[in-house]
Amino acid sequence: MQTVVRFAPSPTGFLHIGGARTALFNWLYAKHTGGKFFLRVEDTDRERSTPESVETILDGMRWLGMNWDNNDPKINNGRNYYSQFEKRERHAEVARAMVESGAAYYCYATPQELETMRAEQKANGLPQKYDGRWRDRPASEAPAGVKPVIRLKAPQTGETTVRDEVMGTITVQNNQLDDMVLLRGDGNPTYMLAVVVDDHDMGVTHVIRGDDHMTNTFRQVQIYKAMGWELPSFAHLPMILGPDGAKLSKRHGAPAVSDYRDRGYLPEAVCNYLLRLCWSHGDEEIIPIEQAIEWFDFDSIGKSPARFDFVKLNHINAHYIGATDDKKLAELARPFLKEALGRDLTEAEMSMLASAMPDIKPRVQTLREIATSTQFYFMPRPLKLDDKAQKNLTPEAKAHLKELLLKIEALSDFTHDAIEQIFRAYSEEKAIKLGAIAQPLRSALTGTTVSPPIFKVAELLGKTEVIARVKDAIL
Binding site for ligand GLU (CB under 6 A): 8-10, 42, 195, 209, 213
| Residue 190 vs 366, nearer CB to ligand GLU | 190
Say how many C-beta atoms besides its own lie within 10 A of residue 381's C-beta. 9
CB of 448 to ligand GLU, least distance (A): 46
CB of 153 to ligand GLU, least distance (A): 23
Q: Which residues are CB-contacts of 19 (< 8 A; sequence separation ≥ 6)?
A: 7, 9, 57
Q: Is the peptide bond before 382 cis (omega within 30 degrees of 0)?
A: yes
SS3 318: helix
Q: Which of 122, 250, 388, 402 is catalytic?
A: 250
CB of 345 to ligand GLU, least distance (A): 40
- Which of 391, 455, 396 shows the shortest CA–CA distance to 424? 455
- Could you tell me if 315 and 269 are in contact, meaning their C-beta atoms sit under 8 angstroms apart? no
Residue 27 class from Cβ within 10 Å (0-12 exposed, 13-18 middle, 19+ buried)?
buried
Q: What is the DSSP letter of 3?
A: -
| Residue 206 vs 334, nearer CB to ligand GLU | 206
| Residue 53 vs 317, nearer CB to ligand GLU | 53
Q: Dihedrals φ, ψ of 106, to 5°?
A: -80, 135
DSSP string of 320-346, one letter each residue:
HHHHS-HHHHHHHHHHHHHHHHTSPPP
- Could you tell me if 271 and 24 are in contact, meaning their C-beta atoms sit under 8 angstroms apart? yes
Largest separation between any pair of C-alpha atoms in the chain: 110
CB of 64 to ligand GLU, least distance (A): 17
Q: How far is Cα 406 from Cα 295, in angstroms, rounded to an integer?
A: 62
CB of 300 to ligand GLU, least distance (A): 21
Reply yes or no on whether 250 is catalytic. yes
- Could you tell me if 308 and 277 are in contact, meaning their C-beta atoms sit under 8 angstroms apart? yes
| Residue 177 vs 195, nearer CB to ligand GLU | 195
Q: How far is Cα 281 from Cα 300, in angstroms, rounded to an integer?
A: 7
| Residue 59 vs 285, nearer CB to ligand GLU | 59
Q: What is the DSSP letter of 231?
A: P
Q: How far is Cα 224 from Cα 244, in angstroms, rounded to an integer?
A: 39
- Could you tell me if 205 and 113 are in contact, meaning their C-beta atoms sit under 8 angstroms apart? no
| Residue 11 vs 447, nearer CB to ligand GLU | 11
| Residue 274 vs 383, nearer CB to ligand GLU | 274
CB of 38 to ligand GLU, least distance (A): 11
CB of 302 to ligand GLU, least distance (A): 20
Q: Which residues belong to the active site?
A: 250
